[in-house]
Structure 1
Amino acid sequence: MNIDNTLQKLHIEELNAMQHDTIDAVLHSDRDVVVLAPTGSGKTLAYLLPIASRLDPKVDEVQAVVIVPGRELAMQSNDVFRRMGSGLRSECLYGGRPTMDEHRTIMRTRPQIVFCTPGRLNDHIDKLNFSLDNVKWLVIDEFDKCLRMGFRAEMQKAVESLPNVERRILLSATDAEEMPSFVRMGRTERVDYRIDEEQTPDRIGLYTVKSPEKDKLPILAKMLRGFGDEQTIVFMNYRDGVERVSRYLADEGFAVSSLHGALDQKQREEAVYRFANQSVRVLVGTDLAARGLDIPEINNVIHYNLPVGEDEYIHRVGRTGRWESTGKAFMIIGPEEHLPEYVKESTEEYNVPETSAAPLPPRMATLYIGKGKKDKISKGDILGFLCKICGLKGADIGRIDVYERYAYVAVDNSKVRSVVKKATGAKIKGLKTVVEQAF
């Protein structure tokens, strides 16, 4: 695989310094590699590019295992790998769905790299669902979280079940207090791009917002109205708070997605998807939303509840200002609260503008199309259908995702009704299908 050609496919003109150094460390040494860099700096691509160039496309067995702490990061990483167009096969393995279904997929696709959560990886290993003989590469992403006590037993079992690993790559925005011996790190090269102990890049503005009331809902709604058409994540500490704040904002007229651990897999995927394709402007979530969301256009992060610790703070703030873009992070301070000691950079007090304007509707809406890869439908087929049959222009169409039996498409919100009307009874590649607004 040629890295320059891959970057062209991804429409990336140039890699940053951290990515160059990571690629060099992986390709031009035989050492294990630890990468420490801020959230949003492109660590996923930094390790996938060199690994893809080292996997053997002629070997129809798993050669690289990537362990991540949660399903969202597994799915995001798998998506990045597939968009690279390397010709190699990958699969995403995580809980919340039958292991047997994943086994059938593994048998059918014969992946050379798998992205998996620790518990689900152990399930497949226990059931001998794929061979471990050719696994030479082990990646632990967000290793600071993966190696904490809550994951420790599962991680130890998984790592010790991979006897033939030759190279290890560990990545995170924050370092671990200790490296457990079971990881079996050999001679190690560190790629450290943490900036002089700064928690956030200069491109992210840090603000405090004083709430005159203990209940922060009124000031939150006021802030969101002032943001207009910007995309915002509101962070809560508990799932009950997520539900309460989401209901309030929905009653106030905001288009909102909710994300927390009590939702099932489909609900979580839909919540992230609606926010990523700009069908909603506000995502309210626990710290589950602080890792693994590869969404570049997040303008604002709001800490409605103060983060419980420095790591949570760093990962939350890292959701905005990704890939050299700018962003803002706001911390709402109640009457009895104070700025946490772990916030080391200076902050500016933000005066929330007065506005009586109603919340702006989201820019996009999500269409469901009842045909997918099984029907030989591609993104190009859907784009042509929407332009030729439904009268849309390229600027009216956003993200297109084609799955096995259906597809989701983001289209201009003001034109979604017209699209559904024109699509009724029409055919895509000679096939009649359902086209309707999703969610």
Structure 2
Amino acid sequence: MEIASILQRLKITALNDMQQEVLAKFRPQQDFVLLSPTGSGKTLAFSLLIDGLIQQKTAHNPQVLIVVPTRELALQIETVIKDVIKGFKVLCTYGGHDTKIERNALKQAPAILIGTPGRIIYHLERGNFTPEHIHTLVLDEFDKSLELGFQEQLAHITGAAAQVKQRILTSATALAEFPDFLSLNLPIEVNFLDSKDNIPDIRFKKVISPAQHKLKALFKLICSQGSKKILIFCNHREAVDHISELLDSRDLIHDVFHGGLEQRDRELSILKFRNNSNRILLTTDLAARGLDIPEIDLIVHYQLPSKEDAFIHRNGRTARMKTTGEVILMLKPDDVFTYLPENTEELLLEEDYELPPNSPYTTLYIPFGKKDKVNKIDIVGYILQLKGLEKDDLGVIEVKDNEAYIAVKRKVASIIIKEGSTGKIKGKKVKFFRT
């Protein structure tokens, strides 16, 4: 394993203490339990372990099975795995994705299979892959899977892959005991839950508002924050949609993210928040972990969860990689949540604030990507040859298998759509669309 080249591909300078300890303590064929907070780098840690376990002589079925509780986490892991491990096919399967595409991909013998419990069982029961060659099973965010009620599905999967020699479990919270269906072999545990390095540096503030004025208070709060990047948590998707209606009425660009959306819309919401096409994301606990959303300036709890674990996971979206984060709690006068920090400073919203500026970027897409041999350099070169376009007009570009998303300055989006939809990239006629 060439750690230096992997770090270079990931654009990081060194492994953190947790990742180094994982590599130091891991022993093949002894089961492994990693306990570490959300955002601490667990995915990279177990990806490095898999890199050392995967075998060059691949069978016609997966060698490694990674089971995750959510589609978004599956997609994030796929990205990291592909950056870390080269020369092996990786397939991501999840609910909402086309089963025919997945069935065809499984015929091509992926060495590493990543998926949500229900979709993995779907393929197992139909014989789209057999588990007999799987030597490593990873149950990522195991606590979240149990919380979401996947215990029966996990028991089914682990029973079907009984010949597995290596189990790796990760969790962001400590478990009092493991379910009966897991029979761990001399498990090694690395626990960084209480590590000082993993205690986030978060500044808490609170806004007190009666229930009937809470939405108005939230709008004032958003306006008071200027151009900060804000993630707003609600307990229910109905609250997300209600806030979204308010922001729409004030022409504040934002996106929503919850389980009621189609998968493509969910992925696009996160992508646009990540590339700064919008600065406000309204979400449920679905975004509390397993998402790649860097550089969030502020987390707002419009509604607070009943359990402390959920509160901790939400806050894990900020103050990552030893940065400082800010969290604002929106409370009614009679609210009591025993897990909240004491003596939290109250933020008074006494004036009317100007509307915050919308992001100067918007996102365009073209309907081809990596499978068409198109990369970022191709896209940048094509756009910059258009008359009047400059490098500063382009933002973050993400190239996926079958499409590419390009953040561009709003002022030039129409020019790119009109002038750019007449040429070719890699021999393919190009057409730009708005997201």
Q: TM-score normalized by structure 1?
A: 0.92
Give distance in 2, aligned partners of 1:101 and 1:436: 24
1:267 Cα shift? 1.9
Deviations 1:135-183 (A, max 9, x none): 1111111111213471111111011110221111111211223201212
Q: CA RMSD in A?
A: 2.2
Contact 2:69 2:148 in 1 (8 A): no
SS of 1:204's equivalent in the other structure is: strand
SS of 2:38's equivalent in the other structure is: coil
1:393 Cα shift? 4.5
Contact 1:369 1:435 in 2 (8 A): yes
Distance verdict in 2 for CA 1:346–1:72, change over 3 Å: farther
Deviations 1:227-262 (A, max 9, x none): 222211111111111111111122122211111112
Q: Which residue of 2 is the match for residue 210 of structure 1?
A: 208
Give distance in 2, aligned partners of 1:203 and 1:306: 20
Give the counterpart of 1:433 among 426, 430, 435. Answer: 430
Which amino acid in the other structure matches residue 271 of structure 1? S
* Structure 2: gaps spanning 5 or more residues: none
Contact 2:270 2:293 in 1 (8 A): no
Distance verdict in 2 for CA 1:407–1:216, change over 3 Å: same
Alignment of 1:415-434 (within 5 A): 415-434=412-431
Q: Which residue of 1 is the match for residue 144 of structure 2?
A: 145
Q: Which residue of 2 is the match for residue 325 of structure 1?
A: 323
1:193 Cα shift? 1.1
Give the counterpart of 1:315 among 305, 308, 313. Answer: 313
Q: Which residue of 1 is the match for residue 406 of structure 2?
A: 409
My pick for the range that moved more, 127-136 or 113-122, is: 127-136
Alignment of 1:39-438 (within 5 A): 39-60=38-59, 61-84=61-84, 86-108=86-108, 110-148=109-147, 150-195=149-194, 201-338=199-336, 340-344=337-341, 347-352=344-349, 354=351, 356-389=353-386, 392-438=389-435
SS of 1:133's equivalent in the other structure is: helix
Deviations 1:196-217 (A, max 9, x none): 6x99834222221212553311
SS of 2:133's equivalent in the other structure is: coil
Distance verdict in 2 for CA 1:398–1:106, change over 3 Å: farther
SS of 2:76's equivalent in the other structure is: helix
Contact 2:394 2:407 in 1 (8 A): yes
Identity of aligned residues (%): 37
1:35 Cα shift? 1.3
Contact 1:207 1:349 in 2 (8 A): yes
Distance verdict in 2 for CA 1:255–1:389, change over 3 Å: same
Deviations 1:291-342 (A, max 9, x none): 211111111111101112111101111011222222211110113323x112
Give distance in 2, aligned partners of 1:85 and 1:113: 10
Contact 1:40 1:321 in 2 (8 A): no
**Matched pairs, number:** 434
Contact 1:390 1:419 in 2 (8 A): no
Give distance in 1, aligned partners of 2:387 and 2:170: 45
Contact 1:57 1:87 in 2 (8 A): no
Q: Which runs of 4+ in 1 moved over 6 A?
A: none
* Structure 1: gaps spanning 5 or more residues: none
1:367 Cα shift? 0.8
Give distance in 2, aligned partners of 1:149 and 1:355: 41
Contact 1:33 1:188 in 2 (8 A): yes
Give distance in 2, aligned partners of 1:288 and 1:148: 12
1:368 Cα shift? 1.3
1:376 Cα shift? 2.7
Give distance in 2, aligned partners of 1:70 and 1:122: 15
Give distance in 2, aligned partners of 1:346 and 1:160: 49
My pick for the range that moved more, 141-150 or 344-353, is: 344-353
